[in-house]
Amino acid sequence: MSDWWRGSVTYQIYPRSFQDSNGDGVGDLRGIHERLDHVAWLGADAIWLSPFFPSPMDDMGYDVSDYTGIDPLFGRMEDFDALLARAHELGLKVIIDQVLSHSSSRHPFFQESRQSRDNPKSDWYVWADPQPDGSPPNNWLSVFGGSAWEWDAQRRQYYLHNFLTTQPDFNFHNPEVQDWLLEQMRFWLERGVDGFRLDTVNFYFHDADLRSNRPNPQNGPVPPVNPYDMQDHAFSKSRDENIAFLLRMRKLLDEYPDRTMVGEVADGLRGLSIIAEYTSGNDRLHMAYTFEMLSRTFTAGHFRSRIEEFFATAPHGWPCWAFSNHDVVRHVTRWAGHGASDDVARLAAAMLLSFEGSVSLYQGEELGQTETELLYDELTDPPGLRFWPEDKGRDGCRTPMVWNDGPHGGFTSGKPWLPVKPPQLARNVAAQKGVAGSVLETYRALLQFRRSEPALIRGKSHFFDLPEPVLGFTRSHEGRTLACLFNLDTAPATLTIPGHGGLVGPSQAARIEGDRLTLGANGYAFLPVPETAVVS
């Protein structure tokens, strides 16, 4: 089996917002096809497509009603096949989302399951009787607010939904459910996809005894915006039984050459330990996608601790790091207090693309794109609609890709499903392409540099003990040791680097005088050094 995925860079495409080809205001597969050259030019190794399957779109496609079809909104199967072929022509692997933990409530199997307690699909979803007083079976909460249990008058039972009430959870304790879901994955493998991004991979199994969750030990005196965060979800997700199903998935993928799986692990209390468990050995996930760097925390100690803790816990595991995705505020906005926007964008790119592990970039990230400020009546996202204004939801990071400064940024000839506003329009592809020092050209240069330096793809990390706000480490591979140094603030920092080989690759606000390196505001630099080098 090839391990092309180890150290790879995957570019996440949110189909609704990448490119619209027919003027209906929603991005589609033909639009992605038209714009694939951009991703190849940038230098990514793979694309990850968020869901494009038939869906009522209550959760923008993460509520699947047909696992082997294409929603008409996005096109037809022929469009997907053409997109896949074109990606492969360009040397891009194609990874697609698999939303296996739950389906849409409109899925035919759920419609059958709710009919009675003894039909062929009656045990395919998680059903439970009410407590004697009519209340839900336990205290489990939904990620999107309220109880994780919804009453069904037809069956006179509650069903489990970790997300929307229209996203009922599959019962993974039923072997028939596992078998069927694996066959849905096989359909896409046979079609030629190169792998899967597994949505909410630690949500598959629930506690069969339906024990109530305990309070989160990190609870403070002030409740969070979403009460979901007040529980330790040890019984509603991240169950030990999950491992056995991961083994089955890996066995399936191993039937096909050069395929990969990256699992999304969301667990605020034990995320890294779960990722380590899910990726250890050669019979589980190839990689796990972590939320560890998707917060507002922007310190050298934080980034160092996340990387060191992962590899200490799972020396043979493999992470996939990301700073932004379709579920969180864009990182240039999250970290706006630490420097000028474009400086922070370039610094973040240099950091992420030098971390040990694989990397995921989110569309628009390469433009230094910022979060879109939306009005309440412009929202479509359920969490935003429910928790506004303290939590404005995820629409702000999902607004359309901006290709030029024309109407709607060249995304559509119609009215876009979410607006393109002036701050986002200003950060467009055409305005940055070919412009030395632009965020876009910096990303491309860094991706080229990463490909030219095996140490940045395969090298082990060793961190220097440097004071905040400076992050520094080496990546070493086959006799080549590269020092990677980053100033996470605006005040200049000066470091001593004995025996260095001078600046290599892209840099920002970096100046070398003898053994002394000065990093200005949000500066970064790469330098070859002896393997035993000590930076102070």
Catalytic positions, please? 199, 255
13: Cβ contacts below 8 Å, ≥ 6 apart: 32, 39, 47, 48, 49, 50, 363
Q: Where are the beta strands (DSSP E) in 127-179?
A: 127-128, 149-152, 157-160
123: Cβ contacts below 8 Å, ≥ 6 apart: 113, 171, 174
Closest CA to 72 of 38, 42, 29, 32: 29
239: Cβ contacts below 8 Å, ≥ 6 apart: 204, 205, 206, 207
Closest CA to 207 of 233, 178, 228, 236: 236
Which two three-digit tokens encode residue 273?
Answer: 């330990």
Q: What share of the chain is helix, strand, coil (3-state, %, to 5)?
A: 30, 20, 50
Helix (H) or strand (E) holding 262: strand 260-265
Rg (CA), the chain: 23
- Residue whose entry in the numeric block shows the structure tokens 């879109």: 372
- Residue whose entry in the numeric block shows the structure tokens 């940024």: 409
Rounded to whole angstroms, the Cα distance separating 463 from 393 reads 36
- Residue whose entry in the numeric block shows the structure tokens 């007083």: 133
269: Cβ contacts below 8 Å, ≥ 6 apart: 216, 217, 218, 232
Sign of CA dihedral 157, 161, 165, 167: negative
Name 482's bridge partners.
475, 528
Rounded to whole angstroms, the Cα distance separating 429 from 441 reads 10
Closest CA to 178 of 112, 106, 100: 100
Which two three-digit tokens encode residue 264?
Answer: 């999304």
Q: Are 47 and 83 in contact (CB under 8 A)?
A: no
